[in-house]
Amino acid sequence: MTSDNLLTVASDWQEQARECLLKENYTSAALLYEQAIEAEPNVKSYYWQLGLMLLLQGEEAEAQTTWWLGMAEGDPEEIEQWTQELVQVLEAEAERQRLQRKDYAVAWAVRQHLREINPANLHNLLHLMALSILLDTYTGEEPHSLGVIELLKSNKPLSSNHELLMQLWKSVLDYAPLHPSTLELTEACLPHVQEPQIFIDTLIHFVYIISYIDRQFPLAVKFTELGLRLDPKHPELLRTLSSFYQDIGESAKGIEMARFGYSVMEKLADKVYACHLIIRGMMTAGGYGDEAYSTFQTLKSLLAELIEQQPTDLDSSTTVRLFSSIFFYPYFQDKPQENIQIRRQIAEICQSNVPNYAKEQMEKCRQRRSSAVKTDVPKKPLKIGYMSYCLRRHSVGWLARWVFEHHDRDRFEIYAYLLGSDSKLRHDPLEEWYIDKASKTRKLGLHGPEAAELICDDEIDILVELDSLTLNTSCEIAMLKPAPIQVSWLGWDAPGIPNIDYFIADPYVLPESAEDYYVEKIWRLPQCYIAVDGFELDVPRERRDRLNIPNDAVAYVSFQRGYKYNSHTVRLQMQIIQAVPNSYFLLKGLGDEESLKSFFTEIAESEGVNADRLRFLPIVATETIHRANLGIADVVLDTYPYNGATTTMETLWMGIPMVTRVGEQFSARNSYTMMMNAGVTEGIAWTDEEYVEWGIRLGKEPVLRQQISWKLRQSRQTAPLWNGKQFTREMEKAYEEMWHRYLENNR
């Protein structure tokens, strides 16, 4: 059939043209519209459709010429009307291509022509941005290059574009979270938000990802500040921003925000956490001393009131936050019975509220446990799951790796559950090392019930959590009990959760009386609860001459977090410095530099120590440099009531004498067990007086320091602390005995 008689044969040529379009027979459709124009040249819609058919064939110049011909010889009002008609045609086709054909490239091309016709059509521009994301061509420049941000800032009403804008905004957050324009787009959206709570909920979810997963805390601060413009008293935004300020070192802002949050919180559980955030800010900064202790007393009163109330209507976020609220107890007081009692009481409240939001997951985990024992034949290999937020460049990550290195793969199948690691943007070499060593790895977010389900699906026999109260998600997972046996090890102290069966310890790190008040059963390994094969070192960056310290001076060192410094112990340390002539105290700590300087200087001068004898060192880039820099020390002075842990092991590995004050709680006995398992007792003090005496003696007796250093270097070949393989065998023996007991008790 020729083009000349297409119109005369078709009973309904427009329907036929439509069918040609749907069948992608654009050439035939174009011929029909050409015939229509020849027959009725004044019907403008034929030009719009013919141009579209040419465009769909890739003949863009011809399409534009056709539309121009259709517009010719019209007055301004007619041209405006015709333009609107053309826009409707192109808009309809762009949506057809996007929704029905899923051909995003063609939809994008059609909308580009719409943009040429009307550059300020926000509806079209938003769709162009959305299509570029679907096409994976979005660069982040589009909000400016398309003029979207400028149009949004003009404050013109969006009318029907509100939902489209919100959908696009969510897509941009996911696709280009770190591009500067994403923050600008978010700010430009604020005047157009019609449902603030939905917007804020999305924003909070986003900032949690870019902070705790992608580790972009400064950027998370900026986004959270935008959210507060919509609701200056939003509880979750206030909590979040306070934490973020503290995490980026702006402690004063973090404390101020936490105090404001405390003043506007109405529910008791929220006030508890707000009070915790005030303390966290002070402890992160370091140097708040008495003020932090006074706030701690307020927290204790609030927790006592909460325990009396026994709330049963808490949601997920409120429930898991309660675990964090008791984090600082061992930093303030060496009273393990009181500390563990409050942990147990809070854990019981949390456990009673889990069914409010995770009943389905609890039931699934219960069914898995009930079916775990199927035979009397010992299971081989046992599935051991290690769960942590810290299996990366973190103290826990550096210490736990030897277990992964030495595990017997014939007897044990090793699973790694990496919490908060499902980042598309962050790369951590140590995390990748763990992934390579594990039999199976799951990169998880920070949603406890979802993680518990996945662990349950893997049919793990023994789940070992390494975070304790340092991450409330780990606590939440443990409450759901996705494995028949659950063990707490390494990260902090036992969290006091009834669903955790065992806490790994040793003969030294807990006193014998601990059996009486721990919720978990204490499983004591025969020598040490942690061991490593050693530590990597870099080239040291600190030298005495650069610090203006004489070569014959005695250099005392304390490299700890601001959390661990308190006025009582610092006073003891200054008494040591004052008593040892030609001695200096070198300090490095994660905290507010000026606050720490003021804190130490004030105490030093009150003890008769000139501030010129203090040196404040900057944080270094890597752990290997930090360890190398320890070589500048003659003596390391430990903190109390919260000792060093990784820092203690690094000190001993470097062969440096140290002084530690032993207490009753786990955190006050870390250095004690490590020194015992490294084969040295010199420097172990059981009272404040002994702490000062050992500090002075080690400063004044260089021969004794040399003897200790030699003993520590020799111990690298023989001591339990430096035998990761033997330690792993002891852990494996414990796992097999735990499983045997479980079988016996559940026959």
Is the C-alpha dihedral spanning 717, 721, 723, 726 positive or negative? positive
Length of the chain: 747
pLDDT of 228-287, one tens digit each? 999 999 999 999 999 999 999 898 999 999 999 999 999 999 999 999 999 999 998 888
Tell me the CA distances in angstroms from 1 to 16, 122, 187, one per residue in order: 14, 44, 59
pLDDT for 417 beyond 60: yes
Q: Which of 337-341, 399-403, 621-625 is predicted least confidently?
A: 621-625
Q: What is the mean pLDDT of residues 448-464?
A: 96
Cα 314 to its chain centre, rounded Å, is: 23
Q: 388: helix, coil or strand?
A: strand
Burial status of residue 211 (CB atoms within 10 A of its CB: 0-12, 13-18, 19 or more)? buried
The residues with which 614 forms a beta bridge, in sequence order, are 585
pLDDT score at 377: 52
d(C-alpha 32, C-alpha 14), whole Å:
8
| Cα 313 to the center of its chain, rounded Å | 27
> How do residues 547-565 score in pLDDT, each as one tens digit?
999 999 999 999 887 789 9
pLDDT above 50: residue 6? no
The phi, psi pair for 486, rounded to 5°, reads: -125, 135
Q: Round to whole Å and give the CA distance between 591 and 562.
A: 5
Nearest of 122, 63, 71 to residue 93 by alpha carbon = 63
Task: Find all residues with CB under 8 Å of 282, minimum gap 6, and list them.
Answer: 251, 255, 288, 291, 292, 295
| pLDDT score recorded for residue 14 | 83
How far apart, in whole angstroms, are the C-alpha atoms of residue 189 and residue 168?
11
pLDDT band at 729 (very low <50, low <70, confident <90, very high): very high
Average pLDDT over residues 291-316: 96
d(CA 237, CA 205): 11
Is there a contact between 91 and 114 (Cβ–Cβ < 8 Å)?
A: yes
Q: Does position 385 have pLDDT exceeding 60, yes or no? A: yes
Residue 10 confidence class, pLDDT cut points 50, 70, 90: very low
Main-chain dihedrals φ then ψ at residue 107, nearest 5 degrees: -60, -40
pLDDT at 706 over 50: yes
**For residue 458, is pLDDT > 70?**
yes
Element (H, E) at 22: helix 13-22
Q: What share of the chain is helix, strand, coil (3-state, %, to 5)?
A: 60, 10, 30
Reading the block at residue 281, the tokens are: 């800010």
- Per-residue model confidence as pLDDT tens digits over 120-165: 999 999 999 999 999 999 999 999 999 999 999 997 777 778 999 9
Are 703 and 369 within 8 A, CB to CB?
A: no
- In whole angstroms, what is the distance from residue 186 CA to residue 182 CA? 6
DSSP H or E stretch at residue 143: helix 142-145
Give the percent of the chain with pLDDT over 70: 97
pLDDT band at 7 (very low <50, low <70, confident <90, very high): very low
d(CA 450, CA 488) in angstroms, rounded, equals 20
Confidence of residue 590 (pLDDT cuts 50, 70, 90): low
User: How far apart are the C-alpha atoms of 59 and 52, rounded to whole Å?
Assistant: 9
pLDDT at 589: 63
Would the pLDDT of 191 be above 90?
A: yes
CA–CA distance, 583 with 700 (Å, rounded to integer): 10
The set of residues, in sequence order, having a beta carbon less than 8 Å from that of 385 and lying 6+ positions away, is 415, 416, 417, 455, 458, 460, 462, 463, 464, 483
What integer pLDDT is reported at residue 465 of this predicted model? Answer: 97
- pTM confidence score: 0.89
Cα–Cα distance for residue pair 714/395, rounded to 1 Å: 25
The residue type of 705 is R
Question: 182 with 172: CB under 8 angstroms?
Answer: yes
Tell me, what amino acid is at 253? K
Cα dist. 110→28, 68, 89, 123, 280 in Å?
20, 16, 10, 14, 55
Query: Of 15-24, 54-63, 599-608, 670-679, which range is least confident?
Result: 15-24
User: Token pair for residue 633?
Assistant: 């020390």
What is the arithmetic mean of pLDDT over 206-213? 93
644 within 8 A of 670, measured Cβ to Cβ: yes
Residue 377 C-alpha from the chain's centroid: 41
